[in-house]
Structure 1
Amino acid sequence: MADFGDDPRAALDRLLTERGVDYAQLSARIGRNPAYIQQYIKRGSPRRLAEEDRARIAAYLGVPEAMLGGPVQRVAAPARPGGSAMVLVPKLAIGASAGAGRTIDGEPVEGAVAFDPKWLRELGADARALSIIRVEGDSMAPTLNDGDDILVDGGDAATRLRDGIYVLRMDDALMVKRVARAPGPGRISVISDNAQYRSWDDLPMNAVQLVGRVVWTGRRVR
């Protein structure tokens, strides 16, 4: 897992390996020539990612921009006398479909929400790898409803897979689904909690890219 103190190139290289994304694929995602990301990681050219590229890559991979060399998004002053600083978690300008799925183009961060770091630790969440994404659709109802905001731990993905709710990519669409290990090595089930929607009972792990585990949800009172 990438650390904010890591070299951004090494961090990006590890993230791509974990997600099963190659250099040319990511280059195409941000509208660059096929060799762009490889040259950035392997040759150091460009020296830094442009802000727009960094934002699009962070949104595509579901990680904070700080992992890629952007500013660490934390409030500088303590939230209360003697207390620790709040952690600002970026809110991505994308939705994870809980319906049929949709393709994304890597929209940037649209804001941030402050969380108590102690509370995040109690959740078992890695504050360095969190992002907030809006749920779209009702295929995960009643667990998750259309419009819910979900807190996604990008450090808790394929390398730590266990049964739970994940944001994932499948067939180039970003989705939120329940994931469970299926019988047989390297097999998983991708499940919609709403029985009216499709589930996949037995898939190879490489059929999906796990973005991160959903560790909390917030919803509006209607």
Structure 2
Amino acid sequence: MSFGDFLRDAMDQHGIQNSEVAARFGISSQAVSQWRSGNTMPSAARIEQVRKYIEERVAAVTRIETATPDLPAAERRIPEDYLPVPTIDIRAGAGGGGIIDGAYLGPPRYFESGFIENELRASPTDLCLLEIEGQSMEPLLRHGDTVLVDRRKSNPSMEGIFVLFDGDGVVCKWVERVHGAEIPTIRLRSENERFSPYEVEADRCRVLGRVVWFARRL
């Protein structure tokens, strides 16, 4: 069985929506449709990730159906007027850690479509969510806060708070360019004054995007 046939049959039989797969892997629903029809194929590594995800979802649905045989199967629906934004299943360590990679995309969270489309002027695939770890951005951002990152805004020429890989780990910091440096360099600065600023060569960094929103548990 081809990958497209596997994906189409499994999703149709178990009520898995294109939008759910799209949000999980940070792509568009149209791209999932192309996979299902066999018009395009993802990389071999992505195929294995998708297969594993679909098999886990099918197993979860099967367990639910087996445990509640007298109840009608629940249809998984995206809440009306809400859009799914993918999470990155690692923490943006304010002290370092993790790797920026699409393979770490986790289950989506839902935001009002008006906030995404009108206020941020974005689509769900432009954004991702991460959880902050550490104290270096306190009191502005605290350990356990969730930040919404706009992946379109990856140029740190304008000072702001960015999530990036600094050559050692994924960090959430104030970022600014060092003007006049012989080698293009950026300065990373914490909100907490106990943590010293440091500079890294721009070529060593991979900017995920700029922080545009955050949430905090009470």
Q: What is aligned with 1:150?
A: 147
Match of 1:218 among 209, 215, 218: 215
Q: 3-state DSSP class of the match of 1:206?
A: helix
TM-score of the pair, normalised by structure 1 = 0.59
Match of 1:102 among 69, 75, 97: 97
Q: What is aligned with 1:33?
A: none
Structure 2, unmatched stretches of 5+, are 1-25, 33-40, 53-75
CA root-mean-square deviation? 3.4
The offset of 1:161, in angstroms, is 4.0
Q: 3-state DSSP class of the match of 1:49?
A: helix
Match of 2:187 among 186, 189, 196: 189
Mapped contact 1:117–1:127 kept (Cα < 8 A) = no
User: Take 1:191 and 1:151, find their aligned partners in 2: how far apart are those partners?
Assistant: 19
Q: What is aligned with 1:64?
A: none
The offset of 1:164, in angstroms, is 0.6
Q: 3-state DSSP class of the match of 1:50?
A: helix
How many aligned positions are there? 159
Mapped contact 2:190–2:197 kept (Cα < 8 A) = yes
User: Take 1:172 and 1:104, find their aligned partners in 2: how far apart are those partners?
Assistant: 9
User: Take 2:124 and 2:100, find their aligned partners in 1: how far apart are those partners?
Assistant: 25
Q: Which amino acid aligns with 1:140?
A: M
Mapped contact 2:154–2:208 kept (Cα < 8 A) = yes
Cα pair distance change 1:127/1:197, threshold 3 Å: same
Match of 2:173 among 156, 177, 180: 177
Q: Which amino acid aligns with 1:204?
A: E
Q: Which amino acid aligns with 2:192?
A: N
User: Take 1:105 and 1:165, find their aligned partners in 2: how far apart are those partners?
Assistant: 16
The offset of 1:187, in angstroms, is 3.4
Mapped contact 1:138–1:145 kept (Cα < 8 A) = yes
| Residues 59-98 of structure 1 mapped to structure 2, 5 A cutoff | 79=80, 85-98=81-94
Cα pair distance change 1:204/1:218, threshold 3 Å: same
Q: What is aligned with 1:199?
A: 197
> Would you say 1:208 and 2:205 are equivalent positions?
yes
Q: What is aligned with 2:124?
A: 127
Percent identity for Structure 1 against Structure 2: 29
Mapped contact 1:125–1:215 kept (Cα < 8 A) = no
Cα pair distance change 1:78/1:5, threshold 3 Å: closer
The offset of 1:77, in angstroms, is 6.2
Q: Which has the larger radius of gyration?
A: 2
User: Take 1:103 and 1:93, find their aligned partners in 2: how far apart are those partners?
Assistant: 10
Q: Which amino acid aligns with 1:97?
A: G
Mapped contact 2:128–2:148 kept (Cα < 8 A) = yes
The offset of 1:210, in angstroms, is 0.6
Q: 3-state DSSP class of the match of 2:46?
A: coil
User: Take 2:196 and 2:44, find their aligned partners in 1: how far apart are those partners?
Assistant: 45
Q: What is aligned with 2:135?
A: 138
TM-score of the pair, normalised by structure 2 = 0.60
